[in-house]
Amino acid sequence: MEKFTTLTAIAAPLPLANVDTDKIIPARFLKTIRRSGLGVHLFDTLRYDEQGAERPDFVLNRAPYRGAQILIAHENFGCGSSREHAPWALLDFGIRAVIAPDFADIFHNNCFKNGILPIRLPREICDALMEDVRQGDNARLTIDLARQVVVRPNGEAVAFEIDPFRKHLLQNGLDDIGQTMAHVGAIDAFEQKRAASQPWLPKIALA
């Protein structure tokens, strides 16, 4: 998983509340277990019309937001089903952070497991950030995870909260498997000791 330290990137405003996971990635695209290739279907029903042509008024179909790595939305982002394909699609498109007043719990957890930083900020701050990034050349924000701030184009730093353990995982690029492999030395030592004392048990290999 890619480490998250400091990100300066284009941010796209999505002033919608209750964006559910079916809106993020429709169910018909969930047949794959591959994490790549889903970005083209991100917000499929919002991005494309019935003939598959891009809707020119949708934010991610317009410059400079085609290259957005930050998304700003309204309340209850990621509600609905628990599909992990939702953060996969966001990440495959290039989104590394989502800023919203709040998130559905399972989506919030899945973001951390896939290297996406979900940032909770009050609605009025989210609206102010949306206005910032609608100003053409000022479409960029900086997210400094170490300092736990979002830096606006005018230089103002807006603080956000994050669980210290989840912060550590993002900064070090550790998903669930990475957390386990960080202890591979201790696990191998335990297995060697167990093999000596209980040789009839099967050996567990992590690498």
**Distance between CA 75 and CA 120 in Å, rounded?**
10
Residues 6+ positions from 14 with CB-CB distance below 8 Å: 59, 71, 72, 73, 74
Predicted confidence at residue 30, as pLDDT, reads 83
pLDDT average per 10 residues of sequence, the chain (207 residues): 95 98 93 82 96 96 96 97 92 98 97 96 98 88 98 97 96 72 61 69 60
Which residues form the domain of 138? Answer: 6-174
DSSP lists the bridge partners of residue 119 as 99
Clarify whether residues 153 and 186 are in a common domain: no
Predicted confidence at residue 154, as pLDDT, reads 94
Predicted confidence at residue 203, as pLDDT, reads 65
Clarify whether residues 61 and 126 are in a common domain: yes
Domain count, the chain: 2
Predicted confidence at residue 39, as pLDDT, reads 95
**Distance between CA 148 and CA 87 in Å, rounded?**
21
H/E segment holding residue 157:
strand 157-159
Position 95 in a domain: yes
Clarify whether residues 103 and 204 are in a common domain: no
Please check whether residue 95 is in contact with residue 19, taking contact to mean a CB–CB distance below 8 angstroms. no
Closest C-alpha to 66, from 88, 45, 40: 40
Residues 6+ positions from 88 with CB-CB distance below 8 Å: 25, 35, 38, 114
Position 1 in a domain: no
Predicted confidence at residue 143, as pLDDT, reads 98
Tokens 């790549």 label which residue?
36
Predicted confidence at residue 31, as pLDDT, reads 79
Predicted confidence at residue 101, as pLDDT, reads 98
Predicted confidence at residue 177, as pLDDT, reads 57
Helix residue ranges, H only, 25-97: 44-47, 85-93
DSSP lists the bridge partners of residue 11 as 70
Clarify whether residues 200 and 118 are in a common domain: no
Residues 6+ positions from 31 with CB-CB distance below 8 Å: none
Clarify whether residues 157 and 204 are in a common domain: no
Structure tokens at 115: 């290297």
Clarify whether residues 89 and 108 are in a common domain: yes
Q: What is the CATH number of the domain that holds 38?
A: 3.20.19.10
Q: Report DSSP state, residue 48.
A: B
Clarify whether residues 151 and 184 are in a common domain: no
DSSP lists the bridge partners of residue 100 as 120
Position 84 in a domain: yes
Position 125 in a domain: yes
Clarify whether residues 92 and 189 are in a common domain: no
Position 43 in a domain: yes
